[in-house]
């Protein structure tokens, strides 16, 4: 379950659960989702990511996903300016200021292992984690990246949690939107034949069907 909190952001004060509302959050429809990101201020990798997430705002909106960032520094003042430098966009999603690491601690995001990943006060910076949270405020997915590796937002947008919730399907390896999907194991083969008239039974436990009409 995603802990609730109050915080100051670049868009003003928020209560997190109220911010989520009936959406998904990519702390990515109507599978509600939120992408919680953990950029460090003015680092080269996170700067490029900030611009990319803002550039893909419409892609998140189509999926009923709200984006919110969290910064281990202040997060205020120039986020739009430096993000827009690296992408033809404005940064319109809120960024939480978490200078005291209160929210990072709440979500277990602090990098306690890397002694070099510290600020001038000796406080650990955050592990660069993406959270996907559904409208019931349940954390459905986390992906963590090292500081040296930019996050892949094509992959984050590819994630099929909403599809699975709506149609009782899962997705196979290297799946992309439009490809065949797997019937959920909880659905019997008899029921699958009713729900998915074009189902193919490869094994009793492996049944595939064309991508569901949306």
d(CA 183, CA 210): 10
Average pLDDT, the chain: 80
d(CA 204, CA 97): 51
| CB of 34 closer than 8 Å to CB of 94 | no
The pLDDT assigned to 16 comes to 94
pLDDT in tens, 70-102: 887 654 444 455 555 555 567 788 888 887 888
d(CA 38, CA 70): 5
DSSP summary character for residue 125: P
Is residue 8 classed as helix, strand or coil in its secondary structure? strand
End-to-end CA distance of the chain: 28
**Closest-CA residue to 3 (of 107, 80, 94):** 107
The pLDDT assigned to 32 comes to 25
């Amino acid at each position: 379950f995603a802990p609730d909190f109050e915080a100051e952001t670049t868009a003003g004060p928020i209560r997190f659960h109220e911010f989520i509302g009936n959406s998904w959050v990519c702390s990515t429809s109507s599978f509600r989702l939120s992408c919680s990101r953990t950029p460090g201020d003015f680092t080269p990798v996170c700067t490029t990511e900030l611009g990319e997430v803002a550039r893909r705002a419409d892609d998140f909106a189509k999926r009923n996903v709200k984006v919110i960032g969290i910064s281990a520094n202040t997060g205020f003042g120039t986020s739009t300016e430096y993000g827009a430098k690296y992408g033809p966009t404005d940064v319109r999603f809120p960024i939480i200021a978490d200078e005291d690491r209160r929210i990072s601690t709440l979500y277990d995001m602090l990098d306690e292992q890397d002694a070099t990943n510290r600020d001038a006060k000796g406080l650990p910076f955050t592990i660069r984690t993406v959270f996907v949270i559904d409208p019931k405020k349940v954390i459905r997915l986390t992906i963590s990246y090292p500081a040296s590796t930019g996050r892949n937002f094509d992959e984050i947008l590819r994630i099929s949690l909403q599809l699975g919730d709506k149609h009782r399907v899962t997705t196979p390896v290297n799946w992309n939107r439009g490809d065949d999907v797997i019937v959920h194991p909880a659905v019997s083969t008899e029921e699958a034949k009713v729900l998915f008239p074009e189902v193919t039974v490869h094994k009793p436990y492996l049944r595939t069907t064309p991508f569901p009409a949306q």
